[in-house]
Amino acid sequence: MDGTMVDNMMVHHRAWQASLKKLGTDWPIEKVMQEVHGVNEEILHRIYGDRFTRKERLAISAEKEKAYRDIFLPELKLVDGLKKYLDTLEAAKIPMAIGTAAPPENANFLLDNLPVRKYFKAIFHAGDVKKGKPDPAVFLLGTAALKVDPARCIVFEDSITGAAAAKNAGCAAIIVTTTHQEEEFAEFDHILKFVKDFSDLKGLTKYFI
């Protein structure tokens, strides 16, 4: 959801970099980009093991996410072409759902501040699953809500773990390169197309209409 609808991944990375530094982990941004992915509690447990209780991990996560929202709100906007693309799919009666690794506060932050909530029949976030991406659970919730076979669904993703989650769910994927470059996805064989945004309406609608 995040990097496919808004170009915000570097805001997340910088917010994580600052949060980790407060915890004594002074990583360069390149290492943050490599290591920090998935659900916040998983990230903190992966980095710090049992150093923090679950309550402490939740508090750290909440502080990081609030900082992210405060930083991002003044510059919040949709990726180019997305609104028109959603209008086109809606007119063609293509059902759509959101499956995001974001916590509910961030999912609602985007959907409350951007004119897109109405397009989606179902919205699932980190609070709805026990495991984050690359586990496919959040996408399988979406396909089930739409009552569509995963093999007939296309996932739009910006992250490597998200691409892996789509593959694990049995879905094809289109990658929006707001976060990673095309060559970073060389291991995957389920990717239909790479796009920098949604401006190529004809090139994208051919997969659905």
Q: Are 5 and 109 in contact (CB under 8 A)?
A: no
Q: Are 84 and 200 in contact (CB under 8 A)?
A: no
Domains of the chain: 9-75 (1.10.150), 77-205 (3.40.50.1000)
Give, in degrees to the nearest 5, the angle at Cα 132 between 185 and 29: 60
Nearest to residue 127, comparing CAs of 151, 108, 153?
108
Nearest to residue 129, comparing CAs of 54, 60, 40?
40
Q: Are 155 and 173 in contact (CB under 8 A)?
A: yes
**Predicted pLDDT of residue 40:** 85
Q: Which two tokens stand for residue 130?
A: 């026990």
pTM: 0.81
Separation of alpha carbons 140 and 192, rounded Å:
19
Q: Could you read off the pLDDT tens digit of each residue along the chain, which spans 209 residues? A: 667 999 887 888 889 999 999 999 999 999 998 889 877 888 999 999 999 999 999 999 999 999 899 889 998 999 999 999 999 999 999 999 999 988 899 899 999 999 999 999 999 998 999 998 999 999 999 999 999 999 999 999 999 999 999 999 999 999 999 888 999 999 999 999 999 999 999 999 999 98
Q: How many residues does the chain have?
A: 209
